């Protein structure tokens, strides 16, 4: 029987995945896989499980964007070439939302095992990898600042409440951003380097993005006041991509991005703390084998 490794974060989202393990096991058995479950957390050693990754034929990751990103980083550092299936169970699940993935664990596993495996792009930022977004500036560190208890109780609403606080305390950052055929030098409110269309629970932040196009999508919000920022965010939340036509927004598709600043700026990778500037960011085309679901 083939072996499936299932890494799960028990504190992601509403903490429901541990109660669904039997359904996931049944789904794996029905496709000829013997599942091994590995519970992740700050006190558990990722290296221990990835030292034995060659025992498995597929890898499932249950958690939010941060859990997926941490597991993918270790998978790539282990130079393993396993297909990865994502079972979204976090608060925002931006990458999974962009891909339209099923949230019910048992159903998710069945659809992924019945589907296809495709090679998709990921991003590299300095010596780390990201699956969905690398960012800095106003609103970009919200997921780092909202604790698990609030996420569990309020869900995505907890992010929105923290976002209101960010907006009214927003101040610009001074950066130099370079990419293919462009250079931005001055004060901005935020930048997002995206691999998919969705970030910050906003669909179509980068509506032209695709996870297998060999490009990253850069969205930059120029310096503005809170009074200008709020209606622009509301336009973005509509999910139609209209914010990209606003004069305060600059948008580029590029294979690489370099970011530098004399300021000490916090960065974010897939909802987790990112590296210090300067940043050397590039797309790695087709670097990850991703399981895609069969149609309902």
Q: What is the mean pLDDT of the chain?
A: 88
User: pLDDT tens digits, residue range 220-256?
Assistant: 999 988 888 888 888 888 888 889 999 999 999 999 9
Confidence at residue 165, expressed as pLDDT on a 0 to 100 scale: 59
3-class secondary structure per residue, the chain: CEEEEEEECCCCCCCCHHHHHHHHHHHHHHCCEEEEEEECCCCCCHHHHHCCHHHCCEEEEEECHHHHHHHHHHHHHCCCCCCEEEEECCCCCHHHHHHCCCCCHHHHHHHHHHCEEEEEEEEEECCEEECCEEEEECCCCHHHHCCHHHHHHHCHHHHHHHHHHHHHCCCCEEEEEEECCEEEEEEEEEEEEECCCCECCECCCCCCCCCCCCCEEEEEEECCCHHHHHHHHHHHHCCCCHHHHCCCEEEEEECEEEEECCCCCCEEECCEECCCCCEEEEEEEEEEEEEECCCC
Confidence at residue 150, expressed as pLDDT on a 0 to 100 scale: 44
User: pLDDT tens digits, residue range 131-170?
Assistant: 999 999 876 755 555 545 444 454 454 454 455 555 656 7
Domains of the chain: 2-114 (3.40.50.10330), 129-284 (2.60.200.40)
């Amino acid at each position: 029987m083939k072996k499936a490794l299932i890494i799960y974060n028990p504190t992601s989202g509403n903490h429901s995945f541990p109660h669904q393990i039997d359904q996931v096991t049944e789904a794996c058995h029905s496709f000829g896989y013997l599942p091994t479950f590995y519970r992740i957390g700050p006190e558990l050693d990722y290296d221990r499980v990835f030292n034995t990754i060659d025992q498995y034929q597929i890898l499932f990751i249950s958690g939010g964007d941060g859990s997926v990103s941490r597991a993918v980083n270790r998978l790539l550092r282990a130079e393993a070439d396993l297909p990865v299936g994502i079972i979204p169970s976090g608060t925002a699940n931006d990458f999974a939302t962009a891909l339209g993935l099923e949230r019910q664990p048992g159903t998710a596993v069945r659809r992924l095992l019945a589907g296809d495996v495709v090679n998709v792009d990921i991003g590299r930022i300095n010596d780390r990898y990201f699956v969905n977004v690398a960012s800095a500036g106003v609103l970009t560190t919200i997921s780092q600042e909202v604790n698990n208890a609030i996420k569990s109780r309020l869900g995505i609403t907890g992010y929105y409440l923290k976002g209101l606080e960010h907006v009214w305390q927003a101040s610009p950052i001074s950066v130099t951003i370079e990419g293919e055929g462009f250079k931005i030098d001055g004060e901005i409110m935020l930048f997002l380097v995206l691999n998919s269309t969705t970030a910050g629970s906003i669909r179509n932040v980068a509506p032209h993005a695709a996870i297998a196009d060999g490009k990253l999508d850069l969205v930059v919000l120029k310096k503005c006041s809170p009074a200008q920022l709020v209606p622009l965010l509301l336009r973005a939340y509509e999910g139609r991509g209209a914010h990209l036509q606003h004069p305060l927004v600059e948008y580029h598709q590029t294979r690489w991005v370099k970011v530098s600043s004399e300021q000490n700026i916090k960065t974010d990778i897939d909802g987790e703390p990112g590296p210090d500037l300067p940043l050397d960011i590039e797309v790695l085309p087709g670097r990850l084998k991703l399981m895609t679901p069969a149609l309902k």
